[in-house]
Amino acid sequence: MAAALAISFMIMFFAPMEIYLNNQGEFWYDAWFLLPWCLLYFGVAFIGMALLFGLLWFLGDRVYDVGLGAAFLALTGCYVQGNFQVKNLPALDGSEFVLADYKSERIASGIIWGVLALLAVGLCIFLKKKAFRKIVGGVSLFLFLLLAVTVLTLFFTAEGYQKKDALTCVKDDQFEMSVDTNFIIFLLDAVDAGKFEEAMERHPEYRENMKDFTYYSNVMGGYPCTDCAVPLLLSGEWYENEEAFEDYVHHVYGEGEFFDELEQLGYGMSIYEEDLQLSESVIGDRYQNLVHTKLKLSDPILFAKRQMKMVGFKYMPWVCKQYCWFDAHQLWNQRAVDVDQEIFMWEDFVFYADLKAQSVTYTDQKQFKLIHLEGAHAPFRYNAAGERVHGSDYVSCIEASFTVFQAYLEKLRESGVYDNTVIAVMSDHGLGADEKVMAGRQHPVLLIKGIGEQHDSLQVLDTPVSHEDYVGAYQRLLSGDASDEVFVQWEGQQRERRYLLYHVTVREHMEEYVQTGHASDESTMQPTGRVFDYNKE
């Protein structure tokens, strides 16, 4: 009974709660929302395992002890795997991992499970029945108490008791445009500038459709991942692990210079961002389409399956992890609201369908819109026409995202608001060849069109731009400057640009680099030796 209690508690209660508490900013729900589900999972699993052990006992002592040995292996193996073999886990961000790339981790995992299996078999064979059962029961009870104390301690130290009052991004006024002035940031996730240039060679219509834009071919991003990159390009302020990340995000959206200026100029502001978590108590009603709603699950069974996949990905041996892989971002699609409003979803195909089905509406108030779409983020699931397919690739998804963007431009032209609209299409980061180390993601795309701007052809500038420069460019665009005048021209076009490298699963440790050459050139990125580690104390 102690083994059933310990296993069911670790896998069904401790593991999902621990994953949540250590990654609270990645999830839309809070601990109080997750708690009853974990209790349900634990209760069902415990009853099921207790019945199973009862059946094994009924079948005889030898069968019962074999089952007890298997339970001992599962308990100790999952405990060690999930708590001590997690340093190099791939991120569940949609980027599929190749099991062969993790040879050392697989070997270590195999050794651990092999040793524990030999221990379980040895105990079962060489110990007397009473001693064997006593040891398994004692270890199980010890681990149960240890896990219970751990999760309770983590609940308080990680402040999991705080209820989230996060606002929800809904589709309201998605295509409402001002007859006065509009400012639109069209943010396509993970589009690398070099790969975009390759796509332009295959699609000459891009140049024609975007002839009024200026393409900046030498943009240096600030971070390799979305969470820090987007606040930087909206504020010009670096996050260096000196404060809680949530405080930094709230500062950017609640007190950022650019948003303050928009508000002072009378712009109505909307942010279409799927997983943005802004607290109502901090942000208030600053943004038109962020509303407070009571969240609930759209599909509880699917939610439970995804919770267990996350647990399996962390706690199962390495040979099993490929079967537990999924894009954890899909958990955001599990949200439902208690009002007659649609939640904004970042999938390209969802926005594309809305774009084709809905008409532009008009207002006198100036409008600012930040539209963050999936772009070319993994998993790759679009063809060049923007249709969902199985087994696509990165370049096809870039083409798909620009199919959507060009349709958006055509919508603006047809509605008569294209000329009075500032448009910036950009990315938060590129996509490197080696996702395990998050390298090669420093060269995101950027194209800009100013108010009333018209060209004979697409302009291409090699100005050494950094994400930290964007706010100054936005301000110049608000003043009516043309797109080729919004960044400072550097003497000789030479400049050192900063980059903070971290892995998507370990934002708490950042390493500083400076780019001394072209943004696309990894060989000219030099480490400064400075590191930025987050210390919650």
Q: Amino acid identity, residue 532?
A: F
pLDDT at 437 over 50: no
The whole-number pLDDT of residue 320 equals 83
For residue 406, what pLDDT band results from cuts at 50, 70 and 90? very high
Taking alpha carbons only, the member of 86, 87, 88, 66 closest to residue 78 is 86
pTM of the model: 0.80
For residues 318-334, average pLDDT: 78
pLDDT at 461 over 90: yes
Quote the CA–CA distance of 27 and 440 in Å, as a whole number: 27
What's the confidence (pLDDT) of residue 269?
Answer: 94
| Contact predicate 318/78, CB 8 Å | no
pLDDT band at 325 (very low <50, low <70, confident <90, very high): confident
pLDDT digits 0-9 by tens, 261-275: 999 999 999 999 988
**What pLDDT is attached to residue 264?**
93
Q: What percent of the chain has pLDDT over 70?
A: 96
Q: List the alpha helices (DSSP H) in 291-393.
A: 300-315, 318-321, 348-357
Q: Which domains does the chain have, with CATH numbers?
A: 2-157 (no CATH), 176-293+343-493 (3.40.720.10)
Per-residue pLDDT of 60-89, as tens digits, reads 878 878 888 888 888 888 988 888 877 777
Instruction: Provide mean pLDDT across the span 380-398.
Output: 86
pLDDT-derived band at 531, boundaries 50, 70, 90: very high
Residues contacting residue 224 through CB under 8 Å, at least 6 positions apart: 429, 432, 438, 439, 441, 442, 501, 502, 504
Give me the pLDDT at residue 246, please: 86
Distance between CA 352 and CA 132 in Å, rounded?
Answer: 62
Query: Which of 52-66, 349-363, 409-423, 515-529 is the least confident region?
Result: 52-66
Confidence band for 436, pLDDT divided at 50, 70 and 90: very low
Segment 283-303, tens digit of pLDDT: 878 898 888 777 777 788 888
Question: For residues 272-281, b (16+ Cβ closer than 10 Å) or e, as one string?
Answer: bbbbbbbbee
User: Residue 432's pLDDT band (boundaries 50, 70, 90)?
Assistant: low
Residue with the two structure tokens 């983020």? 377
Higher-confidence residue of 110 and 86: namely 110
The average pLDDT across 98-112 equals 80
Residue-level pLDDT at 387? 85
What residues contact residue 25 under an 8 Å CB cut-off, 6+ apart?
227, 245, 246, 277
